[in-house]
């Protein structure tokens, strides 16, 4: 489980990257707006790579990884911001 704060031009949202056990792929789950995205990825890394494309397109300004299940890190321990 990975929790991300995504900074968009007009607001920010909190998004989980969670495993969809029915298809064994990862999906973005927007908990701010209550929405599960249809796109699915083989790994968390693939999902983050897709998020970076939105930065290149200007749809996302930056993101902060708040919780990473694998490393158990929080934003106060790692300030990885992608712009």
Residue boundaries of the structural domains of the chain: 2-64
Cα end-to-end distance, the chain, whole Å:
22
Distance CA 8, CA 1 (A): 22
pTM, full prediction: 0.80
pLDDT, residue 78, reads 39
**Whole-angstrom distance, CA of residue 51 vs CA of residue 57:** 10
What pLDDT does residue 1 have?
86
pLDDT in tens, the chain (83 residues): 899 999 999 999 999 999 999 999 999 999 999 999 999 999 999 999 999 999 999 999 999 999 887 655 455 443 344 44
Say what the pLDDT of residue 72 is: 56
Supply the pLDDT for residue 6.
96
Cα separations (Å) of 31 from 45, 50, 54, 83? 20, 18, 19, 22
């Amino acid at each position: 489980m990975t929790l991300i704060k995504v900074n968009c031009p007009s607001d920010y949202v909190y998004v989980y990257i969670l495993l969809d056990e029915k298809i064994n792929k990862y999906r973005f789950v927007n908990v701010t707006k209550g929405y599960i995205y249809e796109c699915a990825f083989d790994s968390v890394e693939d999902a983050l790579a897709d998020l970076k494309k939105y930065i290149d397109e200007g749809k996302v300004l930056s993101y902060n990884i708040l919780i990473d299940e694998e490393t158990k890190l929080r934003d106060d321990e790692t300030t990885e911001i992608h712009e």
